[in-house]
Amino acid sequence: MQNFLIIIIFLLAALVLFFLATKESFPYKRKKRFLPENQQNLFRALEETIGDKYYIFPQIHLSSLLKIKKEAEGEHYKYFHKLAQQSVDFVLGDKQAIYPVLAIKIIDFSDESSSRRRDNKFIGNALAAASLPLLEIEQQKEYRAEEIKKLISEKISIR
Protein backbone atom coordinates (compact mmCIF):
# COMPACT_ATOMS: atom_id res chain seq x y z
CA MET A 1 0.00 0.00 0.00
CA GLN A 2 2.84 2.37 0.84
CA ASN A 3 4.45 1.78 -2.57
CA PHE A 4 1.10 2.48 -4.23
CA LEU A 5 0.83 5.88 -2.47
CA ILE A 6 4.40 6.78 -3.49
CA ILE A 7 3.57 5.92 -7.13
CA ILE A 8 0.35 8.02 -7.00
CA ILE A 9 2.21 10.99 -5.48
CA PHE A 10 4.94 10.64 -8.11
CA LEU A 11 2.38 10.52 -10.93
CA LEU A 12 0.53 13.57 -9.57
CA ALA A 13 3.79 15.49 -9.27
CA ALA A 14 4.70 14.52 -12.84
CA LEU A 15 1.28 15.68 -14.10
CA VAL A 16 1.61 19.02 -12.31
CA LEU A 17 5.10 19.54 -13.75
CA PHE A 18 3.84 18.58 -17.22
CA PHE A 19 1.00 21.13 -17.10
CA LEU A 20 3.28 23.85 -15.75
CA ALA A 21 5.84 23.18 -18.48
CA THR A 22 3.29 23.20 -21.30
CA LYS A 23 1.47 26.33 -20.16
CA GLU A 24 2.22 29.07 -22.66
CA SER A 25 3.93 32.05 -21.12
CA PHE A 26 3.96 35.55 -22.55
CA PRO A 27 7.02 37.74 -21.94
CA TYR A 28 5.04 40.99 -21.63
CA LYS A 29 4.39 43.51 -18.93
CA ARG A 30 2.38 46.69 -18.85
CA LYS A 31 4.20 49.93 -19.52
CA LYS A 32 4.19 52.55 -16.80
CA ARG A 33 3.28 55.25 -19.31
CA PHE A 34 0.95 55.10 -22.27
CA LEU A 35 2.82 57.96 -23.96
CA PRO A 36 6.38 59.25 -23.65
CA GLU A 37 6.64 62.53 -21.75
CA ASN A 38 6.92 64.82 -24.80
CA GLN A 39 3.84 63.17 -26.36
CA GLN A 40 1.95 63.55 -23.06
CA ASN A 41 2.78 67.25 -23.09
CA LEU A 42 1.54 67.63 -26.66
CA PHE A 43 -1.57 65.59 -25.84
CA ARG A 44 -2.38 67.97 -22.98
CA ALA A 45 -1.92 70.99 -25.26
CA LEU A 46 -4.17 69.36 -27.88
CA GLU A 47 -6.81 68.60 -25.23
CA GLU A 48 -6.75 72.19 -24.04
CA THR A 49 -6.90 73.55 -27.58
CA ILE A 50 -9.29 71.33 -29.53
CA GLY A 51 -10.37 68.55 -27.15
CA ASP A 52 -13.96 69.79 -27.16
CA LYS A 53 -14.08 69.74 -30.97
CA TYR A 54 -12.14 66.62 -31.97
CA TYR A 55 -11.25 63.23 -30.57
CA ILE A 56 -7.52 62.86 -30.08
CA PHE A 57 -6.20 59.39 -30.91
CA PRO A 58 -2.57 58.71 -29.94
CA GLN A 59 -0.04 56.45 -31.68
CA ILE A 60 -2.00 55.37 -34.73
CA HIS A 61 -0.49 53.12 -37.39
CA LEU A 62 -1.03 54.21 -40.97
CA SER A 63 -2.72 50.85 -41.63
CA SER A 64 -5.54 52.04 -39.34
CA LEU A 65 -5.93 55.27 -41.33
CA LEU A 66 -5.39 54.27 -44.94
CA LYS A 67 -6.57 51.48 -47.17
CA ILE A 68 -5.09 50.08 -50.36
CA LYS A 69 -6.69 51.26 -53.61
CA LYS A 70 -8.41 48.56 -55.67
CA GLU A 71 -5.98 48.91 -58.57
CA ALA A 72 -3.11 47.94 -56.22
CA GLU A 73 -4.84 44.99 -54.55
CA GLY A 74 -2.63 42.51 -56.41
CA GLU A 75 0.19 43.76 -54.20
CA HIS A 76 -1.96 44.34 -51.13
CA TYR A 77 0.41 42.65 -48.67
CA LYS A 78 3.41 44.68 -49.87
CA TYR A 79 1.60 48.00 -49.46
CA PHE A 80 -0.16 47.02 -46.24
CA HIS A 81 3.13 45.93 -44.68
CA LYS A 82 4.62 49.36 -45.41
CA LEU A 83 1.63 51.06 -43.76
CA ALA A 84 1.70 48.78 -40.73
CA GLN A 85 5.33 49.67 -40.03
CA GLN A 86 4.69 53.42 -39.80
CA SER A 87 2.67 55.49 -37.35
CA VAL A 88 1.79 59.05 -36.50
CA ASP A 89 1.80 60.43 -32.99
CA PHE A 90 -1.79 61.71 -33.00
CA VAL A 91 -4.85 61.78 -35.20
CA LEU A 92 -7.66 64.27 -34.76
CA GLY A 93 -11.01 62.64 -35.41
CA ASP A 94 -14.32 64.29 -36.20
CA LYS A 95 -16.58 63.79 -33.17
CA GLN A 96 -19.70 63.15 -35.27
CA ALA A 97 -18.41 60.62 -37.82
CA ILE A 98 -15.22 59.56 -35.97
CA TYR A 99 -13.45 60.31 -39.21
CA PRO A 100 -9.73 61.24 -39.35
CA VAL A 101 -9.25 64.91 -40.24
CA LEU A 102 -5.60 65.58 -39.33
CA ALA A 103 -2.53 63.46 -38.60
CA ILE A 104 0.13 64.90 -36.32
CA LYS A 105 3.75 63.78 -36.21
CA ILE A 106 6.36 65.03 -33.77
CA ILE A 107 9.63 65.52 -35.64
CA ASP A 108 12.90 65.11 -33.77
CA PHE A 109 15.39 67.13 -35.77
CA SER A 110 18.24 65.74 -33.65
CA ASP A 111 17.55 62.33 -35.24
CA GLU A 112 17.91 63.08 -38.92
CA SER A 113 19.24 59.69 -39.94
CA SER A 114 18.58 58.67 -43.53
CA SER A 115 16.13 55.96 -42.42
CA ARG A 116 14.19 58.44 -40.27
CA ARG A 117 14.04 60.96 -43.13
CA ARG A 118 12.92 58.19 -45.51
CA ASP A 119 10.20 57.07 -43.06
CA ASN A 120 8.95 60.64 -42.53
CA LYS A 121 8.88 61.21 -46.30
CA PHE A 122 6.91 57.98 -46.82
CA ILE A 123 4.41 58.98 -44.12
CA GLY A 124 3.93 62.42 -45.68
CA ASN A 125 3.53 61.03 -49.19
CA ALA A 126 1.12 58.26 -48.14
CA LEU A 127 -1.09 60.68 -46.22
CA ALA A 128 -1.00 63.22 -49.06
CA ALA A 129 -2.03 60.51 -51.54
CA ALA A 130 -5.03 59.79 -49.32
CA SER A 131 -5.85 63.50 -48.87
CA LEU A 132 -5.29 63.37 -45.12
CA PRO A 133 -3.41 66.48 -43.96
CA LEU A 134 -0.26 66.01 -41.90
CA LEU A 135 0.97 68.48 -39.31
CA GLU A 136 4.63 68.04 -38.43
CA ILE A 137 5.52 69.61 -35.10
CA GLU A 138 9.08 70.02 -33.89
CA GLN A 139 9.77 68.04 -30.72
CA GLN A 140 9.78 70.26 -27.64
CA LYS A 141 9.70 69.76 -23.89
CA GLU A 142 6.57 71.90 -23.56
CA TYR A 143 3.90 72.91 -26.08
CA ARG A 144 1.88 76.10 -25.86
CA ALA A 145 -1.83 75.60 -26.60
CA GLU A 146 -2.15 78.87 -28.56
CA GLU A 147 0.77 77.93 -30.80
CA ILE A 148 -0.63 74.43 -31.40
CA LYS A 149 -4.04 75.87 -32.29
CA LYS A 150 -2.41 78.23 -34.81
CA LEU A 151 -0.49 75.37 -36.43
CA ILE A 152 -3.63 73.20 -36.62
CA SER A 153 -5.69 76.04 -38.11
CA GLU A 154 -3.10 76.36 -40.91
CA LYS A 155 -3.90 72.75 -41.90
CA ILE A 156 -7.64 72.42 -41.24
CA SER A 157 -10.60 74.63 -40.47
CA ILE A 158 -11.20 74.37 -36.73
CA ARG A 159 -14.90 74.35 -35.95
For the chain, the structural domain boundaries read 37-155
Indicate the Cα dihedral angle 48, 49, 51, 55, nearest 10°: -130
Q: Which ranges of the chain have pLDDT less than 50? A: none
**Which pLDDT value is given to residue 14?**
72
**Which pLDDT value is given to residue 116?**
85
**Which pLDDT value is given to residue 21?**
63
On the 0-12 / 13-18 / 19+ scale of CB atoms within 10 A, 10 is exposed
Per residue in 70-112, pLDDT tens?
887 788 888 899 999 999 999 999 999 999 999 999 998 776 6
CA–CA gap between residue 30 and residue 9 (Å, rounded)? 38
Q: What three-state secondary structure class fits 122?
A: helix
CA–CA gap between residue 124 and residue 126 (Å, rounded)? 6
**Which pLDDT value is given to residue 109?**
77
**Which pLDDT value is given to residue 25?**
77
Listed in order, strand segments (DSSP E) in 1-158 are 54-61, 87-94, 100-107, 134-138
CA–CA gap between residue 14 and residue 36 (Å, rounded)? 46
**Which pLDDT value is given to residue 145?**
94
